[in-house]
Homo-oligomer: A and B are copies of this chain.
Amino acid sequence: MPTQISASVQTALLIRFRAVRSATLQLCSPLTPEDMMVQSCPEASPAKWHLAHTTWFFETFILRDFLPGYTPFHPDFLWLFNSYYNSLGDMPEKKLRASFSRPPLESILAYRAHVDTAIEHLLAGSLDEEAIRRMALGFEHEQQHQELIATDIKHALFTNPLHPAYIEASQPAGEGNATPLTWTSLTPPVPGLVEIGITPDPTAPDAFAFDNETPRHTVFLRPFALANRLTTCAEYLAFINDNGYTRPELWLSEGWSTQRAEGWQAPLYWQRDAASPTGWRIYTMHGFAPLPESGGLADTPVCHLSFFEADAFARWSGARLPTEFEWEYAASSLSTRIAKQNLLSTTSGSQPVTANFIETGTLHPTVAPQVPGLQQIFGDTWEWTASGYTGYPGYKPLPGALGEYNGKFMSSQIILRGGSCVTPATHIRATYRNFFPPATRWQFSGLRLAKDA
């Protein structure tokens, strides 16, 4: 039922829409149409496909349902750019996306313009509340694909035997020394019950959360402690040099067999380099850099780890990974600013970003500052948790095809929390649950140590 919404909400939606859509294009600006064709691993998609699919999402779930008389840009695009929504019909196999030389990039850009115009037209009129909710979902969806574009293009350029940089760095990959590792104890109030997740507020449809963050529910937690910052490359190198990759007692059985089969000897993007003081160099979005023994890049958070490597490192350290509930409990108190951000906030763009998100332009995790308290909870790298990905008590997927967004992936995946240096700042929150299979390494994924109190 369309209802007239306030001008301020309309304005806010429009500003957010334009900001999100232009950020995607901005991210692709260093790329050629040829770069945007590459699909270098099964997890990844070509950048051009991401441009089209995010547009398809607005067309499919908003324009076709809520803009009367909307004419789709092209009938083939309706199935060509479907990712995995079986309810909507058949779609091309994911691996075929590398063959999409047609439609050409200019058609995809025209598709974006066509849909953008229609969305702006829609936003100018009365708007159904469900449409507002889907706009919010569309924003978050596009932000997820912004992160994927960054992740995928890093892999694509690294796969190229020439290893070109995405962009030249304005500054070194890391500077100075990370704050020393200390432990922060956290003790839930007696009897140990904390609230996890979020329950959508029907009176505030703009306070977005994915269905998999709902409903808010009670969890029992024991006292625990978290490391004050992420694990660094130097710390991880000590694990490597202590024969971490050749000692089965440090590994989960599945992790051991995976790293044996894959020949892992270090995180993804680390390469042997006799000219480096440590014998290693690391590929970043700015090309390769030697790994020093300490300081600079050595003190940046280690990333592109699988869950198995994070888990083995934690075991080697005499510690463990936090559960997703421990992490969220710790993060919640820190995240007032972020939790209060919402899609209608027009000031987020001008707020000082204190975490290392994609907006900083570093595109790589940075050295933890020498300040007290929990650092790097948000941004820098995703943090592997000890928790498998399952539905919260009372979880219900969204109705219809959108129910396939999150729920159907709830098996054999592990929760990651906190966002990374390629996550948009307004996309993350304390309740946000990311998830990947445990062998995944192409994400900016690292770890924070935890232990029992």
Residues of A in contact with B (beta carbons under 8 Å apart): 32-40, 48, 76, 80, 84, 86-87, 92, 96, 98-105, 156-157, 159-162, 164, 191-193, 217-220, 222, 248-249, 251-256, 307-308, 311, 386-388, 390-391, 393-394, 403-404, 408-412, 414, 438, 452
A99 near B191: Cβ-Cβ < 8 Å: no
> Shortest Cβ distance from A92 into chain B, in angstroms?
5
Looking at the complex, which one of B104, B160, B387 makes contact with A100 (CB distance below 8 Å)?
B160
Given that A248-B86, A390-B387 are contacting pairs, would A35 and B254 also be in contact in the complex, using a CB cutoff of 8 Å?
A: no
Q: Which residues of B contact A390 (CB under 8 A)?
A: 386-388
Looking at the complex, which one of B104, B217, B251, B404 makes contact with A408 (CB distance below 8 Å)?
B251
Interface of A (DSSP majority class): mixed
Given that A99-B40, A386-B390 are contacting pairs, would A162 and B412 also be in contact in the complex, using a CB cutoff of 8 Å?
A: no
> Shortest Cβ distance from A51 into chain B, in angstroms?
13
> Shortest Cβ distance from A375 into chain B, in angstroms?
25
Q: Which residues of B contact A160 (CB under 8 A)?
A: 96, 99-102
B452 near A162: Cβ-Cβ < 8 Å: no
Given that A99-B40, A388-B388 are contacting pairs, would A192 and B218 also be in contact in the complex, using a CB cutoff of 8 Å?
A: yes
The CA-CA distance from A92 to B164 in the complex, in Å, is 15
Measured CB to CB, the nearest residue on chain B to A394 is B452
The CA-CA distance from A86 to B254 in the complex, in Å, is 13
The CA-CA distance from A33 to B96 in the complex, in Å, is 18
Given that A32-B104, A394-B452 are contacting pairs, would A98 and B411 also be in contact in the complex, using a CB cutoff of 8 Å?
A: no
Measured CB to CB, the nearest residue on chain B to A403 is B249
A252 near B222: Cβ-Cβ < 8 Å: no
> Shortest Cβ distance from A212 into chain B, in angstroms?
13
Q: Which residues of B contact A249 (CB under 8 A)?
A: 86-87, 403-404
Q: Which residues of B contact A252 (CB under 8 A)?
A: 408-411
A255 near B411: Cβ-Cβ < 8 Å: yes
B387 near A411: Cβ-Cβ < 8 Å: no
The CA-CA distance from A252 to B220 in the complex, in Å, is 28
Closest 7 CB pairs of A and B: A388-B388, A86-B248, A34-B101, A37-B37, A35-B101, A253-B408, A220-B220
